[in-house]
Protein backbone atom coordinates (compact mmCIF):
# COMPACT_ATOMS: atom_id res chain seq x y z
CA UNK A 1 0.00 0.00 0.00
CA UNK A 2 1.20 3.51 -0.83
CA UNK A 3 2.10 5.83 2.02
CA UNK A 4 0.07 8.70 3.36
CA UNK A 5 1.13 11.74 5.36
CA UNK A 6 -1.12 13.40 7.92
CA UNK A 7 -0.54 16.08 10.56
CA UNK A 8 0.03 14.58 14.00
CA UNK A 9 -2.69 16.61 15.64
CA UNK A 10 -5.38 19.22 15.00
CA UNK A 11 -7.75 21.16 17.16
CA UNK A 12 -11.24 22.42 16.48
CA UNK A 13 -13.95 24.30 18.28
CA UNK A 14 -17.23 22.52 18.80
CA UNK A 15 -19.85 23.07 16.09
CA UNK A 16 -17.29 24.38 13.62
CA UNK A 17 -16.23 22.59 10.43
CA UNK A 18 -13.01 20.57 10.49
CA UNK A 19 -10.79 19.88 7.49
CA UNK A 20 -8.39 16.98 8.00
CA UNK A 21 -5.74 16.81 5.26
CA UNK A 22 -3.95 13.79 3.87
CA UNK A 23 -1.12 13.74 1.35
CA UNK A 24 -0.60 10.68 -0.82
CA UNK A 25 1.73 11.84 -3.60
CA UNK A 26 2.63 8.30 -4.69
CA UNK A 27 -0.97 7.15 -5.08
CA UNK A 28 -1.57 4.87 -8.05
CA UNK A 29 -4.55 4.99 -10.37
CA UNK A 30 -6.14 1.98 -8.74
CA UNK A 31 -5.82 3.11 -5.11
CA UNK A 32 -8.94 4.00 -3.19
CA UNK A 33 -8.70 6.52 -0.37
CA UNK A 34 -10.24 5.27 2.86
CA UNK A 35 -10.74 7.06 6.17
CA UNK A 36 -11.20 5.40 9.52
CA UNK A 37 -11.28 6.90 12.98
CA UNK A 38 -10.58 5.54 16.43
CA UNK A 39 -12.38 7.05 19.38
CA UNK A 40 -10.70 6.74 22.79
CA UNK A 41 -10.69 3.16 24.10
CA UNK A 42 -12.60 1.85 21.09
CA UNK A 43 -11.84 -0.04 17.92
CA UNK A 44 -11.44 1.83 14.65
CA UNK A 45 -14.57 2.64 12.71
CA UNK A 46 -15.07 3.27 9.01
CA UNK A 47 -15.80 6.86 8.01
CA UNK A 48 -15.78 7.17 4.23
CA UNK A 49 -13.91 6.21 1.07
CA UNK A 50 -13.57 7.40 -2.52
CA UNK A 51 -11.62 7.04 -5.75
CA UNK A 52 -11.78 10.24 -7.79
CA UNK A 53 -15.01 12.10 -7.11
CA UNK A 54 -15.92 13.84 -3.89
CA UNK A 55 -18.07 11.71 -1.60
CA UNK A 56 -20.63 12.51 1.07
CA UNK A 57 -22.23 10.35 3.71
CA UNK A 58 -23.97 10.89 7.02
CA UNK A 59 -20.68 11.13 8.90
CA UNK A 60 -18.47 13.27 6.69
CA UNK A 61 -17.44 14.45 3.24
CA UNK A 62 -14.33 13.48 1.33
CA UNK A 63 -12.79 15.99 -1.05
CA UNK A 64 -10.22 14.51 -3.45
CA UNK A 65 -7.80 16.72 -5.35
CA UNK A 66 -7.96 16.58 -9.13
CA UNK A 67 -4.49 14.99 -9.34
CA UNK A 68 -5.48 12.65 -6.44
CA UNK A 69 -2.23 13.40 -4.61
CA UNK A 70 -4.10 14.74 -1.63
CA UNK A 71 -7.51 14.53 -0.01
CA UNK A 72 -9.40 16.20 2.81
CA UNK A 73 -11.86 14.70 5.24
CA UNK A 74 -14.48 17.26 6.19
CA UNK A 75 -16.54 17.09 9.35
CA UNK A 76 -19.22 19.71 8.83
CA UNK A 77 -19.93 20.45 12.49
CA UNK A 78 -17.50 19.00 14.97
CA UNK A 79 -18.92 17.64 18.19
CA UNK A 80 -17.12 16.47 21.30
CA UNK A 81 -17.86 12.94 20.16
CA UNK A 82 -15.72 13.50 17.06
CA UNK A 83 -12.53 13.70 19.15
CA UNK A 84 -10.55 10.75 17.83
CA UNK A 85 -7.53 9.67 15.80
CA UNK A 86 -8.34 9.87 12.08
CA UNK A 87 -6.51 7.56 9.68
CA UNK A 88 -6.16 8.09 5.94
CA UNK A 89 -5.43 4.76 4.21
CA UNK A 90 -4.82 3.82 0.57
CA UNK A 91 -6.07 0.47 -0.67
CA UNK A 92 -5.45 -1.04 -4.09
CA UNK A 93 -8.50 -2.08 -6.06
CA UNK A 94 -9.23 -5.79 -6.29
CA UNK A 95 -5.99 -6.74 -4.66
CA UNK A 96 -7.66 -9.48 -2.71
CA UNK A 97 -5.35 -8.57 0.11
CA UNK A 98 -7.57 -6.71 2.42
CA UNK A 99 -5.95 -5.76 5.71
CA UNK A 100 -5.81 -2.08 6.49
CA UNK A 101 -2.35 -0.53 6.80
CA UNK A 102 -2.61 2.14 9.49
CA UNK A 103 -0.21 5.08 9.79
CA UNK A 104 0.03 7.39 12.77
CA UNK A 105 -3.11 9.31 11.89
CA UNK A 106 -4.22 12.75 13.06
CA UNK A 107 -5.39 13.20 16.61
CA UNK A 108 -8.35 15.60 16.55
CA UNK A 109 -9.21 17.48 19.73
CA UNK A 110 -12.56 19.25 19.94
CA UNK A 111 -12.93 22.14 22.34
CA UNK A 112 -16.29 22.95 23.89
CA UNK B 1 -26.89 -6.16 18.81
CA UNK B 2 -23.11 -5.92 18.81
CA UNK B 3 -21.74 -6.54 15.31
CA UNK B 4 -18.25 -7.72 16.31
CA UNK B 5 -17.74 -8.87 19.88
CA UNK B 6 -14.63 -9.95 21.71
CA UNK B 7 -14.07 -11.70 25.01
CA UNK B 8 -12.57 -10.96 27.39
CA UNK B 9 -12.32 -7.17 27.35
CA UNK B 10 -9.39 -7.23 29.76
CA UNK B 11 -6.89 -10.02 30.34
CA UNK B 12 -4.10 -9.89 32.90
CA UNK B 13 -1.78 -12.85 33.07
CA UNK B 14 1.75 -13.86 33.90
CA UNK B 15 4.63 -14.59 31.57
CA UNK B 16 4.71 -18.12 30.31
CA UNK B 17 0.97 -18.69 30.51
CA UNK B 18 -1.24 -19.68 27.58
CA UNK B 19 -4.38 -17.65 26.89
CA UNK B 20 -7.12 -17.32 24.29
CA UNK B 21 -9.15 -14.39 23.02
CA UNK B 22 -12.46 -15.04 21.30
CA UNK B 23 -14.14 -13.07 18.53
CA UNK B 24 -17.58 -13.40 17.01
CA UNK B 25 -19.33 -11.44 14.28
CA UNK B 26 -23.05 -11.56 13.56
CA UNK B 27 -22.88 -9.70 10.25
CA UNK B 28 -22.69 -12.75 8.00
CA UNK B 29 -19.26 -11.65 6.78
CA UNK B 30 -16.82 -14.00 5.07
CA UNK B 31 -13.55 -12.40 6.16
CA UNK B 32 -12.18 -11.84 9.64
CA UNK B 33 -8.96 -10.30 10.96
CA UNK B 34 -6.81 -9.88 14.02
CA UNK B 35 -4.94 -6.60 14.53
CA UNK B 36 -2.53 -5.66 17.32
CA UNK B 37 -2.20 -2.14 18.74
CA UNK B 38 0.97 -1.70 20.77
CA UNK B 39 1.79 0.82 23.48
CA UNK B 40 2.78 3.39 20.86
CA UNK B 41 -0.70 3.05 19.38
CA UNK B 42 0.41 1.56 16.07
CA UNK B 43 -2.21 -0.78 14.61
CA UNK B 44 -0.88 -3.73 12.62
CA UNK B 45 -2.49 -6.69 10.93
CA UNK B 46 -1.66 -10.10 12.33
CA UNK B 47 -3.92 -12.57 10.56
CA UNK B 48 -6.78 -12.72 8.10
CA UNK B 49 -9.22 -15.56 7.48
CA UNK B 50 -11.66 -15.94 4.62
CA UNK B 51 -14.39 -18.56 5.05
CA UNK B 52 -12.33 -20.33 7.72
CA UNK B 53 -9.22 -20.36 5.51
CA UNK B 54 -6.06 -18.48 6.51
CA UNK B 55 -5.21 -15.96 3.79
CA UNK B 56 -2.80 -13.60 5.55
CA UNK B 57 -0.24 -14.40 8.18
CA UNK B 58 2.07 -11.48 8.86
CA UNK B 59 5.42 -11.97 10.58
CA UNK B 60 3.90 -13.03 13.86
CA UNK B 61 5.66 -15.46 16.23
CA UNK B 62 4.30 -18.98 15.95
CA UNK B 63 3.27 -18.73 19.60
CA UNK B 64 0.21 -17.00 18.15
CA UNK B 65 -2.24 -19.40 16.56
CA UNK B 66 -5.56 -18.27 15.13
CA UNK B 67 -8.43 -20.71 14.84
CA UNK B 68 -11.65 -20.29 12.92
CA UNK B 69 -14.22 -22.97 13.82
CA UNK B 70 -16.75 -21.36 11.47
CA UNK B 71 -16.86 -18.16 9.48
CA UNK B 72 -18.54 -16.24 12.31
CA UNK B 73 -15.75 -16.93 14.78
CA UNK B 74 -12.04 -16.24 14.83
CA UNK B 75 -10.18 -17.01 18.03
CA UNK B 76 -6.60 -16.16 18.92
CA UNK B 77 -4.57 -18.50 21.10
CA UNK B 78 -1.25 -17.33 22.50
CA UNK B 79 1.27 -19.74 24.01
CA UNK B 80 4.09 -18.90 26.41
CA UNK B 81 3.09 -15.28 26.84
CA UNK B 82 5.88 -12.69 26.93
CA UNK B 83 5.98 -9.14 28.27
CA UNK B 84 6.10 -7.81 24.71
CA UNK B 85 2.74 -9.39 23.96
CA UNK B 86 1.07 -6.74 26.11
CA UNK B 87 -1.14 -4.76 23.74
CA UNK B 88 -4.72 -4.24 22.67
CA UNK B 89 -5.92 -6.88 20.22
CA UNK B 90 -8.73 -6.00 17.82
CA UNK B 91 -10.82 -8.39 15.84
CA UNK B 92 -12.47 -7.14 12.66
CA UNK B 93 -14.62 -8.47 9.85
CA UNK B 94 -15.59 -7.49 6.33
CA UNK B 95 -18.14 -8.77 3.87
CA UNK B 96 -15.47 -10.45 1.80
CA UNK B 97 -11.79 -10.15 1.03
CA UNK B 98 -12.06 -7.47 -1.62
CA UNK B 99 -10.84 -3.99 -1.19
CA UNK B 100 -13.71 -1.60 -0.87
CA UNK B 101 -15.67 -3.36 1.77
CA UNK B 102 -15.45 -1.55 5.04
CA UNK B 103 -14.11 -3.37 8.03
CA UNK B 104 -16.02 -3.53 11.29
CA UNK B 105 -13.91 -3.67 14.42
CA UNK B 106 -14.60 -5.15 17.81
CA UNK B 107 -14.08 -3.21 21.05
CA UNK B 108 -10.65 -4.72 21.65
CA UNK B 109 -9.06 -6.95 24.28
CA UNK B 110 -6.44 -5.32 26.45
CA UNK B 111 -3.83 -7.94 27.28
CA UNK B 112 -1.38 -7.23 30.08
CA UNK B 113 1.44 -9.67 30.69
CA UNK B 114 3.24 -9.30 34.02
Nearest by CB to residue B99, choosing from A43, A85, A98, is: A98
The reported pLDDT for the residue numbered A95 is 65
Which residue positions in chain B have pLDDT lower than 50? none
Check B105 against A99: CB less than 8 A apart. no
**B40 CB burial (10 A radius; 0-12, 13-18, 19+):** exposed
As a whole-number percent, the residues of chain A with pLDDT over 90 amount to: 84
pLDDT band at A30 (very low <50, low <70, confident <90, very high): confident
Nearest by CB to residue B100, choosing from A32, A101, A102, is: A32
Q: Are A86 and A106 in contact (CB under 8 A)?
A: yes
Chain A residues within an 8 Å CB radius of B23: none
The verdict on A8 touching B (C-beta cutoff 8 Å) is no
The reported pLDDT for the residue numbered B19 is 98
SS3 B17: coil
Chain A residues within an 8 Å CB radius of B41: 85, 104
* Residue B104: closest CA among A44, A60, A99: A44
The reported pLDDT for the residue numbered B39 is 86
Chain B, nearest residue to A43 by Cα: B107
pLDDT at A7 over 80: yes
What is the end-to-end Cα distance of chain B in Å, rounded?
34
**A101 CB burial (10 A radius; 0-12, 13-18, 19+):** middle
The reported pLDDT for the residue numbered B23 is 97
pLDDT digits (tens, 9 = 90+) for B71-99: 999 999 999 999 999 999 999 999 887 76
Which residue(s) pair with A97 in the sheet? none
Chain A, nearest residue to B56 by Cα: A97
Q: What order of strands is seen across the sheet that includes strand A106-111? A: A9-13, A106-111, A84-92, A31-38, A45-50
Amino acid sequence: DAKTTQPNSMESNEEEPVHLPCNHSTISGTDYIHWYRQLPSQGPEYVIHGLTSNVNNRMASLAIAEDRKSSTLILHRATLRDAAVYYCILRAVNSGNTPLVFGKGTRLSVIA
Amino acid sequence: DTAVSQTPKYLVTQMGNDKSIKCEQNLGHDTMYWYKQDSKKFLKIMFSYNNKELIINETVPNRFSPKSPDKAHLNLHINSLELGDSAVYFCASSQDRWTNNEQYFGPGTRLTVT
